Structure formats: C-alpha cells, structure tokens
Structure 1
Amino acid sequence: MTFPAPLTGVVPPVCTPLTPQREVDVDSLLRLVDHLVAGGVHGLFVLGSTSEAAFLTDRQRRQVVEAVVGHVGGALPVLAGAIDMSTARVLDHVAAVAAAGAQAVVVTAPFYARAAHPAEIARHYRRIAAASPVPVLAYDIPVSVPARLPAGLVLELAAEGVLAGLKDSSGELGGFREVVTGVREGSGTAGFSVLTGSEQLVDAALALGADGAVPGLANVDPHGFVRLYRLARAGDWEGARTEQERLCALFGLTRAGDPARMGPGSSALGAFKAALHLRGVIDCPVTAEPQIPLTAPEVAAVREHLAAAGLL
C-alpha cells in the first residue's frame, strides 16, 4: 500500500495484549485488529504510548509490527512508533519496523537528559528522515517528552519534506490551530497530515481542519470514533458534539484507578485493557511491568462506564 497523503480518518494507537507471562499475545492482538477494522477505522498505529511500546523489548516490538502488517495484508496503512531517547537508537528502530512492513514511522523529539533545544529537535528529525525508507511523522506528547514541538518548527520541517505529518497529543488547541492553518496556507506543505491524539477534543480538532484522530479510546469503541469522524465530515456538528460528549463520558474509565496507589498511565492503560477483556476482545488484561494492575472494584467501575456507553 502507498502511504496516503494526507492520512485521514481514525487511526487508533493499537493496544498490545499480553499473556500472564507478559509476552505478546498474538492471537488477542489480531482479534483486536479485526475489532478495529470492523469498526471502520482508516489506519493502525502500533508501538505508540497506548501500545506500551516503552515497556516492550526490541524483539516484542518487531513481533507486533510483523503480526499486524501480515494480518491486514495492505488493506490499511500501518504506522509504527520508532520512539527512543536518542537519534541513533531511533534510527535502529526505524530500520527494524520498516523492514517488518510498517508504511510510516512516528517519532518523538529526543528525551531523557533535558528538554532538547529546537535546533537539536530539527537535527534529529532531519537525520531520521534522511535515513528512513518510509515517511516520518512527528509525535508531540509533552506528558512524556518534555520538549514541545514548536508549531513554526513543525511547519518548517513539513515544507522541507522532512515530516509527512504530526500526531499532536498535547491537547493544546492554540498551537494545533497554528499548524493546521500553516499547512493550509503554506507552501510545500500539501499532503501533510495533522492528527489529534486527544480523545476529548476530536470534534474541535476536526472543526479546526484536522485530517483525523489517533485516540487510544478507539481501541474500546472504534465505531464511536468513526461515527464522530463521519458526522464531522458531513458537517453535522450537532451530531458530532453529541457523539463526542458520549465518548468523553466513556473516557472517564481511564480514571478508574486510585491515584493514591498508581499513576495515570497505569490507570488508563489498565482500563483500556480491562474494557477490551470485558468486551471479549482480548484474553488477558495484564499490563507491562512495572505498571500497577487494577483491582476488582476498579474493573467494576470500568464495566459501569462500558454499560453506560451501550458497549455491554
């Protein structure tokens, strides 16, 4: 499949089901892919934050890409995260996921020691794009990578052909609007994809001119996000708002975990997997170490959100 320019629609960041021994559960992974495809999604993003890529070994990362690419057989574009601390390590991941069949890579700014300077971020992306056999999308996720991606820098790299798109998980609509407007009005940015990673702002992002969304909650309710996207594209903004509000209520399941004993990542990813297990999509809701599992009462809270959303 030729990578679409721009990439549009709902592109879920696919969860990585694990066995109780915390190996990749390939059978459950492929059932999850079938669940997403049946929901009408327009692409798949593996090895992102929702995929728990930071917790997987290099062997497991490649296993995920090979399994998903082989299963969809070119019917949908498959993007793969190539996320690591330094340019050299990212280049290794790019080579591995491209060889496994990914049609594009999604890359954050460098991280770990300190927030990178914009000049270092630009150098990072230019070096990766020069070596990558597939298009490179930037991933702005300030909750995990302290360096924000300035809108001006994103537009500069887009015009140079370094970046093919942006997944913006900042939730900050001012900078997002600046990128969308700059792509629309800029020179050399045709075909650049602007995607929101915020589950709760999809209707607003589409109204601003976003090409699509990469919502983790779409693992749980792909039909809902596809319905929202179609309503927005049809200009039915009242219908889109109603569907967005239903999804915002469902998103409350990510807060099922007690913040006194676990971080928000454990709560959100644990809730996604608990929901998929309750819906019969995956065999086991376990998350990768060292994340803390949900308790039975917390899973019951997830079940209540699913029932309220009409998903059980």
Structure 2
Amino acid sequence: MNKKYFGVVPPIITPVDEKENVDKEGFCKILDHCIDGGLHGIFVAGSNGETMALTQNERDNAIKIAIDHVNARVPVMSGVLDSSTRRVIDNIKKLEQLGGTCAVITSIFYARHTSQNETIRHFEQIAKETDIDLMIYNIPMFTGIKLNAETVMKIAEIDNVVGYKDSSGSFPEFMRCLTHFENTDFSLLQGTTAFQLPSMLLGADGFVPSIAPLFPELFVKAYEAGVRKDIELATKYDILIRETSKILGMSKNATAANKFALSQIGYTHKRIIEPQDQILPEEEQKIIAKIAEINEQYEQLKASL
C-alpha cells in the first residue's frame, strides 16, 4: 500500500490582519511550527480556516501561501468547498494554477438536497475536469446532508478520488468504510477527534484535529500508539486529547476559542472574521489555565513512561 495522506493533519486556522486579509508572516510561522512538530500534513481552507468567511481572493491567497511555504515538506490538502459543481470546478482550476495537488470537496451547500446521488454526480463531473487528487469531505453540520458509507464507496470508484475525511460523527458508518477499504491505497481520516482512538485502533490512516498545532507532540504520539495498536498507551494519550478538545467548548464560538488558544504559541493573533462572536476575557483565562493543566499532565505522562 502507498498511502499519500495519513497521520495527524490539522485543519489549519487562517490568521488574518485588521482588514481580514491573510497574515502571511503569522501563517508561515504556524505552518513551520506544525511541520517542525512532526504533524503529517496541512488542510488549508477548511471550515476551521474560516474559508467561507474569507473573500475569494484571500481564500486563494491562504492556499497559495500554504502550498508555497510548505514546499512539499508534507502534503497540503486544499479546501475547494462551494455551493455548486461549476463553482467547485472553478476553484479547482485556480488551485491547479497555484500548484495544488489535492482538493478537499464537500457536498454542495446552501441548497435543498434531494438524494445521495447528487453528491456522486458532483464528484463524477468534477473528476472529468481535473487530474489532481480529490478527497471526500463529509461534514453534514455545514452541508445539510450526511453521506452514508455506500455513497462514499461509490464515489471512491472514481480514479482520482484518493481518500475520505469523515466529520459526520457517525462512527458505525465510518467503521463500514474501514472494513470496505482495508488493504487498499484509499486513505481514511477521522474528522471527529473524539473518535480518534477507536478509529486508529481499527485501522484508520489518521485524524484531523483542529487543536493539534497547540500540542503537536501529544497528537503525534497518540497517532503512533494507534498505528502500533498499543491500546494501553493510546488510551493514556486519548485521555489528554479529550481534555484538549474541551478548549473548543470554552467559548460559545469554537473558532474564537481555537484561534485564541493557538495565539498562545506566539505566532498569530486571536482575531476572527466578522460578524462572529469574539472570545470573552474570562473565557481566555479559562483557556490559558486549561492549556497549562494539559501541558503539566502531559509532562507527568511522559515521565511515567
């Protein structure tokens, strides 16, 4: 097997300046931080990257910065999410011009969904227009439709569809995919961090946690323990990973919580794109305390191994 996409792949935030344009300097620093920390890839222009809040020019700018700065050190998966097949194809054509090699595609959104088949047709038509890798992205909270395992399997028959990121929260359906794609080159990435432990132990190729850049070593060690099927150690890491996920719930806006938490590394600003609710000062203090608590617990865990 020759898996292209595996490991811990954060859906990276998009740092922005006062005018809500991409903060290139901060973005490059956090990309380096991720790679130096051992993370296995970057997912740019996803929902955590506020891709639909950016202007089209700034979305393209974020993708270009990521592709150019990462410079093939790790794979870059680029979101081309949009509301129609033609719009996605246009995004992919731009991605090709920017040097992108992997497009992450959801079902269309802001539309009435009538069937699972519409998403199959969506991928079939897109695949006719490009030779780059295509990744299925199942995120019903934003698209309004939950892809089932049969739909994923059907889309995967298309030659340049290479993997699946599942943020549906439906673990039984993901398990069906794990069974179906066992011993193939098709990559299965768990998008719900709460399911990373059973997913890895059952054969997933990786997971896509938004908070991973804050604790890269912890997430990489958890992935490696899962690959080795070391249940005892993987469980110990997972206890801490579940604590990291609590950070996202410490503000009513998970994006604001995530950006503030990552700003504590020192490379980026906590700024989010309007009109989202900003994080409150008391919420910031809770997050700072939780980060310190997790770091202390992780050091204790390492000392005990």
Q: Supply the distance in 1 between the matched residues of 2:127 and 2:206 (Cα, whole angstroms).
A: 23
In the superposition, the TM-score normalised over structure 1's length comes to: 0.91
Aligned residue in 2 for 1:248: 242
CA deviations over 1:147-198 (Å, ceiling 9, x no partner): 111211211221342521110011211000011111127xxxx311110111
Amino acid paired to 1:271: A
Q: Supply the distance in 2 between the matched residues of 1:173 and 1:71 (Cα, whole angstroms).
A: 35
Amino acid paired to 1:273: K
Question: Matched residue pairs, number?
Answer: 296
Aligned residue in 2 for 1:261: none
Residue correspondence of structure 1 range 83-232 to structure 2 within 5 A? 83-161=81-159, 163-184=161-182, 190-232=184-226
Q: Supply the distance in 2 between the matched residues of 1:58 and 1:39 (Cα, whole angstroms).
A: 30
Give the SS at the match of 2:204. Answer: coil
Runs of 5+ unmatched residues, structure 1: 259-266
Aligned residue in 2 for 1:44: 42
Q: Supply the distance in 2 between the matched residues of 1:115 and 1:221 (Cα, whole angstroms).
A: 38
Q: Supply the distance in 2 between the matched residues of 1:274 and 1:153 (Cα, whole angstroms).
A: 37
| Aligned 8 A contact 2:15 2:22 in 1 | yes
Q: Supply the distance in 2 between the matched residues of 1:153 and 1:250 (Cα, whole angstroms).
A: 32
CA deviations over 1:112-134 (Å, ceiling 9, x no partner): 12124112111101011111231
Aligned residue in 2 for 1:278: 264
Q: Supply the distance in 1 between the matched residues of 2:86 and 2:50 (Cα, whole angstroms).
A: 21
Give the SS at the match of 2:188. Answer: strand
Aligned residue in 1 for 2:72: 74
Q: Supply the distance in 1 between the matched residues of 2:37 and 2:127 (Cα, whole angstroms).
A: 32
Please report how far the alpha carbon of residue 219 of structure 1 lies from its aligned counterpart in structure 2 after TM superposition: 2.6
Q: Which stretch shows the higher mean deviation, 112-121 or 192-201?
A: 112-121
Runs of 5+ unmatched residues, structure 2: 299-305
Give runs of ≥4 in structure 1 deviating > 6 Å.
none
The Cα RMSD (Å) is 1.6
In the superposition, the TM-score normalised over structure 2's length comes to: 0.93
| Aligned 8 A contact 2:131 2:160 in 1 | no
Match of 1:299 among 278, 284, 288: 284
- Between the aligned residues of both structures, percent identity stands at 31
Match of 1:308 among 293, 297, 301: 293
Please report how far the alpha carbon of residue 253 of structure 1 lies from its aligned counterpart in structure 2 after TM superposition: 1.1
Give the SS at the match of 1:18. Answer: coil
| Aligned 8 A contact 2:117 2:151 in 1 | no
| Aligned 8 A contact 1:118 1:153 in 2 | yes
Q: Supply the distance in 2 between the matched residues of 1:252 and 1:116 (Cα, whole angstroms).
A: 35
Please report how far the alpha carbon of residue 271 of structure 1 lies from its aligned counterpart in structure 2 after TM superposition: 1.0
Aligned residue in 2 for 1:23: 21
C-alpha change, 1:162 and 1:126, in structure 2 (3 Å) is farther
| Aligned 8 A contact 1:98 1:104 in 2 | no
